[in-house]
Amino acid sequence: MSGFAIEIENLTKEYPFGFLHLKKKTSLEGLNMQVEMGEVFGFIGPNGAGKSTTIKLLMRLIFPTAGSARILGRPISDVEMHKDIGYLPEQPYFYDYLTAAEVLDYFARFHDLRAGDRKERVERMLKKVGLETARKIQLRKYSKGMLQRVGLAQAILHDPKLVILDEPMSGLDPVGRREVRDIILELKREGKTVMFSTHILSDAEALCDRVGVIVGGKLRGVGAPGQLVDMKTQGMEILFALTGASDEPLLAKAMKTGEYYRLQVAEGELYVAIEQLRGTGARILSVTQVKATLEEFFMNLVEADRAQAAAVEVSGK
């Protein structure tokens, strides 16, 4: 087996549209990417970027126009490989005439688990995702967040080596999001590989060993969150409070949040700025370095993609 949990080569997906399906929209363009064994990999991008398309291609819910992929060293057409993977679909929906315990038991049956083992695992999973008290309620009465928890439980029920989660934080309240983050970290501690898509960048930054950024169906960058963005200091932020009125021009550049002011200046201008603020009678509370965030990196890519799309539209190509 190779050292990669997922290997994607030139994966492309085009959707025909129009009356006679003669026009084609490219949803994913020549994706090349690897997810290493044991890592938590975040797949980030705006809505419609191609994240879910990639995951659906990996799960063979849709079929590629070109390219190929391997999971755990085996081609994705090998259904038996699914014994070792868990998948949470985006906005999951399950048989609403079943209870949470029944739906988990149903899915567990496909993994050749004995009745006693199935029962024990179902109970453990329900407890893990916080649904043990709702275990006997039919899913038609579940909220979106509760369905998301059921989805997560069925994805990890059979102790898979690789877990693929499509927008796992979607529809969850802050408590639920925290619990999902904890589950992902626990999976990592157990040596599992986790790939999850998200557009919540703080989750990706907090959880991922590496992230892949996809915009407009193209992969724009892969690496550790810190490597992707420029880690050099981009400036200094001074937090201060004013004790009286002042007409110092520097204050016009500051942003007021509550009773405090924030002022961003270049690193070389820090001491001059502090002196000027002191001259106005300001009370300096803190000085911090300003670094680029994953969000800024992401937004730059999205803006560039939009500008390119607009240029193509204008030129008609």
Contact positions toward other proteins, by CB under 8 A?
A: 56, 59-63, 79-83, 85-89, 91-95, 97-98, 106-107, 109-111, 151, 154-155
Q: What is the DSSP string of 216-266?
A: TTEEEEEE-HHHHS--SEEEEEEEEE-SS----GGGGG-EEETTEEEEEE-
Query: CB atoms < 10 A from the CB of 246, how many?
Result: 15
Q: Exposure string (b/e) for 81-108, b if CB count within 10 Å is 16 or more? A: bbeebbbbbbebebeeebbbbbbbbebb
Query: CB atoms < 10 A from the CB of 147, how many?
Result: 19
The CB-of-233 to other proteins minimum distance in angstroms stands at 44
Nearer to other proteins, 109 or 306 (CB): 109
Nearer to other proteins, 98 or 239 (CB): 98
The CB-of-79 to other proteins minimum distance in angstroms stands at 5
Number of H helices, E strands in the chain: 9, 14
Which single residue is written with the structure tokens 């109970």?
Answer: 123
Q: DSSP character for 135? A: T
The CB-of-169 to other proteins minimum distance in angstroms stands at 18
CA 42 to chain centre: 5
- Report the alpha-carbon distance of residue 7 to residue 34 in Å, rounded: 5
Nearer to other proteins, 151 or 225 (CB): 151
Q: DSSP character for 81? A: G
Nearer to other proteins, 64 or 176 (CB): 64
Query: CB atoms < 10 A from the CB of 165, how many?
Result: 28
Nearer to other proteins, 108 or 254 (CB): 108
CB-based contact 155:87 (threshold 8 Å)? yes
Nearer to other proteins, 46 or 89 (CB): 89
The CB-of-88 to other proteins minimum distance in angstroms stands at 8
The CB-of-113 to other proteins minimum distance in angstroms stands at 12
The CB-of-16 to other proteins minimum distance in angstroms stands at 10
